[in-house]
Structure 1
Amino acid sequence: MAAADFAGSKQAIAYALCKHLRLDPDAVSSTSIEESDIVSLFSHIVKSSEDEIMKWVEFSSSFVGKDGEHHLLLDNLNQDLSQKSVLLGNGFKPSAADIVVFATVQVFMNHLGEYELQKYPHVLRWMDYIQNVVDFGTTVRKINVAKSVFNPPSHPKKANKEDADPSSKKVVSGQKSVDKSDASVGSKKAAGETNAPENKANPTPAKNNKPSGDKKKSQEKSAGKANEGVTDKAPQKTAEKDSECNVSILNIQVGLIRKAWKHPSADSLLVEEIDLGDGNVRQVVSGLAKYFSPDDLVVSI
């Protein structure tokens, strides 16, 4: 692409920078915009010579002036944006550098096909954010970004241990039946010995009708087996049910922070007014004061 293809970029830069700095866009004449290059136009409006900002202004100037090197410059930009949301600063507030670079890069990106656009995922993400929070007037045509729809996976239901291993239920059931039979047989034997008819020839003293110590131990052992394996599984099922959590019960919403200020009674808290886009503005208190200043959180359109 030739430099003439970027004719509307300077107009968009001048308008967006004036809006960003709360200046009157009409104060910059169209003649001065046409006769200035990107570096001189930026210095005329912003009046700043900070090294970090000027580095990106010169990047934009090179992007316009060096025909045939656009893909190489886009590769560098894509790599730089892989770890951050905006070009300068640690928050989400666009800077003057973001405005200048966007106004030049979007002209070239709008001429690329879908396959070529996918080579620069971080640039696309950044451009989609900038074009929705910065006012460039009517000279900039928004780039269409295909966004994937996120469908949260359903939470799998935990299988009951007995359902997972049906043989275990059969084993326990069989164990109960066998133990019950053993206990029944043991009790019948004991009852038979007690109710046996008296031997007239050799009468047995009454105290011998009671089961011996070994038989009593055997009966107690059989009774213990009958109760073995019977446990109260209700608490375990309740705990498993409580541990289940389906992500579909969450109501996740995305909004823009319109106002933010320090909490009057807590230095570590911030108060934000969040626009949800449906006419509702919510006021939220968060513990972000040690990470961001109120100005870093506010998104202005």
Structure 2
Amino acid sequence: MSQNFRHSEIIEIARREGRVTVEGLAEHFGVTLQTIRRDLSDLAEEGRLERVHGGAVLPSGTTNIGYEHRRSLNAAAKVDIGRACAARIPEDSSIFLGIGTTTEAVAAELLRHRNLLVVTNNMNVATILSANADAQVIVTGGNLRRSDGGLVGNLTTDTIRRFKFHLAVIGCSAMDDDGDLLDFDVQEVGVNQAILSQARRSFLVADQSKFGRSAPARIGSLSEIDVFFTDAAPPRAVASACRDWGTEIALSEPPAYTRSRASGER
């Protein structure tokens, strides 16, 4: 396969999965690691990808990519993360579910939970959980962000501060190598900080495409998170910091039948 065709397919894989790895691409194309490293360096020089440890991610900027694109990125992994997170959410509890496509995956896994009080600033989460008759759903109000159904602003924050949640589940747009959680919307940052302050325990749901990305606004640190649900081991510095902070890293796995089918078992 020519370099130009490889470059196009590498970009397509990155758009679909949010991240590419040197080893994964080398196996996919049947070429050497050095060849893939050169490809990624060329794409980074063209501004089409950003190099991170072990691979590359889509370029960062001061604005996030579109909602429909975000929802399709690493979609299977988000389902697995949502399932793993929901399994740790007890029934008969009050929870907050924030903005993000991965928190929406968590909501979809809560449809059989009973006696939940769910507060959310995510219109998509509210719509998903309207199908669970055993969940009381409260929408915060606020300024509607039409791009993704998120609610932000002072009204959102004021509503959040009226509650004390057993558990909060939030996402982020990017994660620095020092464990800082980042976002593109300053108003959403203020909302997430209020959510964390009003929760007894906090969960972060973020797939591996967030590793090494950059965004301009700081939400907080993984040190403020009790359990970080993701689909791949984070960079070594992040994992080490989490151990020091007592932040659990919970790696999700696909269902057993999916793993068996992928490995050719019958």
Same topology, TM > 0.5: no
From the two aligned structures, give the one with the greater strand fraction: 2
TM-score, structure 1 length as denominator? Answer: 0.27
| Larger Rg over CA atoms | 1
